[in-house]
Amino acid sequence: MADSRSSDGEKERRRSVNCSRGKNEAMKVIFTDPQILDCYICCEPLSVPVYQCENGHISCSSCCSKVHNKCPSCSLAIGYIRCRAIEKVLESIKIPCQNSKYGCKITMNLNQINEHETSCPYEPCSCPISDCSYVDSAEHLGSHFRKRHQDSAKSFLYNSRFTICLNSGDRYRIFQAENDDALFVLSYSFEIFGNAVTLSRIGSPLSEKKFCYDIKAKSQGSVLSLQSVAKEIQRWTEDPPFKGSLLIPNEFFGSSSAQTILEIRIWPSR
């Protein structure tokens, strides 16, 4: 008897939970087969209007004309009967961006996922310290670096010139802005005719924030200079692109010099 009462009580509890859910309250739904809402023809997420053949095969409207209104699955006519049920399902589904944990607040319809995520400015970035696996938005990455790796970067202020000295064998140098914790990497690569220097910012290429910089190499009254816009990179590697670099000829500092002294200025573009 006790088991029966317990079972009845559990059923009543579940019933009350279901009844208490409001008519317009959102429900979390898990699709075990994400392709169930894909077009049978182009295999991309369906968008309204949706059409079906008499056998129930579904297609987006643009694909119906591509196959001359002949269902490729069963050869029956397609493109004349709307599938209202699937259309209502599509209109009710809202999916968060895959970068929501990195700060993106946008939710979208199923057919908008690919377009949004190829232009989402919240793409995660990796810590430039080689043995650190931290990944997050550029903003949070800056805070992480300040707390964990502060001694691994040179701090600077925007629009203020600072000087660095690169020794033979140095491949890169990390800078962190005191203004907003933004991270920059100066890459120093060895080429046939000299050394190539370029500056990048750790951040999403789709970010609205852009930064300009100039680099000057001085030696015996001669000056080599480069002014450019910092390339946005999500992950730093030791093989920077040669294009857009300041090339310092081998003989510029003299054969006896084992150091490269650079003067650098970085500022936000307007």
Looking at residue 177, its pLDDT comes to 95
Is 210 a residue whose pLDDT tops 50? yes
Looking at residue 242, its pLDDT comes to 56
Looking at residue 133, its pLDDT comes to 92
Give the mean pLDDT of 185-213: 85
Percent of the chain with pLDDT over 90: 37
The answer to whether the pTM exceeds 0.75 is no
For residues 115 and 246, the model is more confident at: 246
Mean pLDDT of the chain: 82
Of 201, 182, 196, 202, which is closest to residue 241 (Cα–Cα)? 196
C-alpha to C-alpha distance for 203 and 188, rounded to whole angstroms:
20
Question: Confidence band (pLDDT; 50, 70, 90) for 169?
Answer: confident
Question: Confidence band (pLDDT; 50, 70, 90) for 3?
Answer: very low
C-alpha to C-alpha distance for 49 and 63, rounded to whole angstroms:
11
